[in-house]
Structure 1
Amino acid sequence: MPDIRAVVTGIGSCLPPDVVSNDDLSQVLDTSHDWILSRTGIAQRHVVRPGTSTGDLGTAAGAAALESAGRRRCDLVLLVTTTPDQPCPATAPQIAARLGMVGVPAFDLSAVCSGFVYGLTVASAMISSGGYDSVLLVGAETYSTIIDPTDRNTAVLFGDGAAAVVLERGTPGAPGEVLHAELGSDGSRSELITVPGGGSRAPHPAADEASRYFQMAGKEVFSRAVETMRRSARDVAEAVGWSMDQIDAFVGHQANARILRAVGKRLGIPADRIVCHLAEVGNTAAASIPLALAWAAAQGRISAGDRVLLTAFGGGLTWGSVALRWPAVRPVRAEVGLPDAPVPVGGGDRVAPPQPDAP
């Protein structure tokens, strides 16, 4: 079998239209814009309206990624999320169907804030194995549905959003090549990041009201995230032979600007190469890295051929890092609001992709 590599060929994103600013939160919580911004780097976050689901955002982002890649369909659809539309069935098959891909295999993957690096690793392996020629990887979250609005520790952090990438079969050295990935977990400390109720251990309605909401031991998570992401990112960079001054863009999970700065400083990555999209969207969990990538590409912060290092830490506990070369793609941003995103129509898998903006 020839040496097969997974390459990124398209990226799309979707943010719900409603925005909650720090000043809005200060009207209902004992906080202020300055306090939130100084401690997190977040100025606002997008939130879904009642009736809009993770699947709605994911469908719109998936359609945008397909448009970016110039495709009508993929061989597999993978959704990474902590907030599926319902406990059963999975949300990915519904996204696939809404995008005109009935019959295509589709499944959800849950690794909380590490979801995208887990999903990218799995999608790349599916292609590299020779089993699939293309994968639509969607990261989508509606954390506003699992956050206690009266809890200052979490209500100020999280937002809703989705982003997706298309990966296709390629060869070594191809633009967009996923070079190397490493993952890890430590379930012995799963209590640090959790939604205690709603599963088989504490099913509703037996679970108390507070157990419905996302809970996090912030201080310990902060320190663990910094050290674990530093170590993971370093190991992946070393595996592909990159020194830190060769990395063009460092894209960590967008949890907290202080975490990103601390990891970058310990790795020796210049501040101007650390991508931070927190001010506009907050922490969007499994959607945060692809949203940051789409934003950075649209802003010219990353361009074709750049060495990009991704890293994340999240509930589970889970973590991971990925090294890739950025492709020549133009991000497509979708809107959400209608029950179904527009479904690409016509024969064949491919359409003419949008052209990257001239440098």
Structure 2
Amino acid sequence: MVTPGGTIRMAGIGTAAPGPPIDNATLGKRMGMGPMWEQWVESFIGTKFRHLAVDLATGEQRHTLADLGEAAGRRALAAAGLDPSDVDLMVMGTAMPDKLMPTTLNEIADRLGIDGVPTFQLQSGCSGAVQALEVACHMLSAGAHRTALVLGGDVSAKLVDPDMDAGALPPAQLVNLVLFGDGAGAVVLTTEDGPGPLVRGVFTRLTGRNKAPGQTLDWFGGNRRFSGPPVTEDYKAIEAAVPVMAVSSLAEVLRRTGWGHSEVSFVLPPQLSGRMTAKIVAALGVPNAVEVSCVEETGNNGNALVYFQLERLLPRMAPGDRAVGVAIESSKWIESGFALEQR
């Protein structure tokens, strides 16, 4: 776990979501689902809206991850009162980059006019947002850099065939249609003094030895024999494991910061779905903490979720407030967490 020896603060946050929010009725109608669709989604999943990078009517991709990352990066820099020329480090976490090469992060850097700086793109599920924060904090703590633009995001809609017969899918596969949305987020970390909460710690750790993946995403190239189904998910395994891993992650953050459960002012829980998030928050045992969640409105947009939560958190933090965030990667089971404190 990185506990910055110097002062690293979050100076600005920005997010980007593609197009207007899509409600369950609209999605169900496009996928040919019957009248019980909305009731099933509400009772089993709890997600009400999501943003998709494709046009539901045509299946055409309207936004790339680079598009969204550029917009989020510009908003984060504007919120921090900085220019792209002030950035001397970039890190990004994503499970679904636009291409294998060039990296999406380097495309975003090019669009922002950033050059001559180290760039690191990390491949991971939802914990990739925190992994990117950890890498940036390590490098800022070393003293070689002053200002990092850290990004996270995913565009999962490209994995879904809008012409599929969704009514023929089993519930385990229907979950993916409902859960996921698209988006990107960015945060400016800097060692320079100014407003914004201090990063008191950030950690990630792999816990997946000898465990089957909870989720897989495949690449599709010219030789389809190298590929399997685009998405597989063991939602029951995820439902069982993530709350336990979230409790473990929170305990690790509190152990390393020396904070007690009752001292947490805000909690940013894992955002699997509306229903699952409520269960996780109850298990975390932070009685005085205000929950900061967004998954009901954004869908599970992967590595963007932490940034959408931070966008809701930062304006609410008053001097002395402490916030703890947790993200869990369920493909090969990674725990992660971070701590912020407003001066």
CA offset digits 1:70-95 (Å, max 9, x no partner): 11121111111111110112111111
Instruction: Kindly report which structure 2 residues correspond to 1:340-355, keeping only aligned pairs within 5 A, or say none.
Output: none
Q: In the alignment, is residue 71 of structure 1 matched against residue 82 of structure 2? A: yes
Say if 1:257 and 1:278, in contact at 8 Å, map to a contact too.
Answer: yes
1:22 equivalent in structure 2:
24
**SS of the residue aligned with 1:191?**
coil
1:319 corresponds to 2:341: no
**What is the aligned partner in structure 2 of residue 159 from structure 1?**
181
Is it true that 1:44 corresponds to 2:66 in the alignment?
A: no
Whole-angstrom CA distance in 1 between matches of 2:287 and 2:255: 18
- Tell me the residue number matched to 1:33: 38
Alignment of 1:34-113 (within 5 A): 34-49=39-54, 50-73=61-84, 74-113=87-126
1:134 to partner: Cα distance: 0.9
Q: For residues 22-67 of structure 1, what are the alpha-carbon distances to aligned partners after superposition, in whole Å with 9 as ceiling and x for unaligned?
A: 1123222355223212322210100113142001100000000000
Q: Kindly indicate whether structure 1 or structure 2 has the higher relative contact order, using CA contacts under 8 Å at least 6 residues apart.
A: 1
Q: Which amino acid aligns with 1:69?
A: A
Tell me, in whole angstroms, the C-alpha distance in 2 between the residues paired with 1:120 and 1:80.
9
Report the TM-score, using the length of structure 2 for normalisation.
Answer: 0.85
1:258-310 C-alpha deviation (Å, 9 max, x unpaired): 33222222221248711121121110111001112213445x4x445421101
Counterpart residue number, 1:334: none
Query: Taking structure 1 as reference, are residues 234 and 152 closer, same or farther at Cα in structure 2, changes over 3 Å only?
Result: same
Residue 310 of structure 2 corresponds to 293
Further displaced range: 62-71 or 40-49: 40-49
Change in CA separation of 1:271 and 1:261 when aligned onto 2, cut-off 3 Å: farther
Quick check: 1:33–1:43 contact (8 Å CA) kept in 2? no
Match of 2:136?
A: 123
1:37/1:276 Cα in 2 relative to 1: closer, same or farther (>3 Å)? farther
Q: Secondary structure at the match of 2:305?
A: helix
Deviation at 1:257, TM superposition (A): 2.6
Q: Flag structure 2 segments of 5+ consecutive residues without an equivalent.
A: 55-60, 167-172
> Is it true that 1:308 corresponds to 2:323 in the alignment?
yes
The TM-score normalised by the length of structure 1 is 0.82
Letter paired with 1:157: L
Aligned residue identity for 1:310: G
Matched, 1:141 2:162: no
Change (3 A) 1:196 1:101: closer
Q: Name 1:331's counterpart in structure 2.
A: none
Distance 1:156 1:13 in 2: 21
Contact 1:147 1:154 in 2 (8 A): no
Instruction: Check conservation: 1:163, 1:290, Cα contact below 8 A.
Output: yes
Q: CA 1:190/1:53 → structure 2, altered by over 3 Å: closer, same or farther?
A: farther
The residue identity in structure 2 corresponding to 1:64 is R
The amino acid that maps onto 2:332 is G
2:202 match: 181
CA gap of 1:225–1:242, structure 2 versus 1, over 3 A, is: same
SS across alignment from 1:188: coil
* Number of aligned residues: 318
The change in CA–CA distance for 1:67 and 1:204 in structure 2 (over 3 A counts) is farther
The share of aligned pairs that are identical, in percent, is: 28
Residue in structure 2 matched with residue 240 of structure 1 by the alignment:
257
CA distance in 1, matches of 2:20, 2:223: 30
Distance change >3 Å, CA 174–CA 180, structure 1 → 2? farther
For structure 1, which runs of at least 5 residues remain unmatched after alignment?
A: 328-359
> Which residue in 2 is equivalent to 1:205?
224
The Cα offsets for residues 226-251 of structure 1, whole Å up to 9 and x where unpaired, read as 10111111121122122222111110
SS at match of 1:194: strand
Displacement of 1:197:
4.3
Q: Report the equivalent of 2:214.
A: 192
- The code of the aligned residue for 1:195 comes to L
1:313-333 Cα deviation digits (max 9, x unpaired): 112222211111247xxxxxx
| Pairwise CA distance, 1:223 | 1.1
Deviation track 1:88-120 (CA, whole Å, cap 9, x = no partner) reads 121111111111112222221122111111111
**2:8 aligned to 6, 9, 15, which one?**
6
Question: What's the counterpart of residue 170 of structure 2?
Answer: none
CA distance in structure 1 between the partners assigned to 2:211 and 2:161 by the alignment: 22
Aligned partners of 2:179 and 2:299 also within 8 Å = yes
Answer yes or no: is the 8 Å Cα contact 1:127–1:134 preserved in 2: yes
Q: Does 1:223 align with 2:240?
A: yes
C-alpha RMSD of the superposition = 2.4
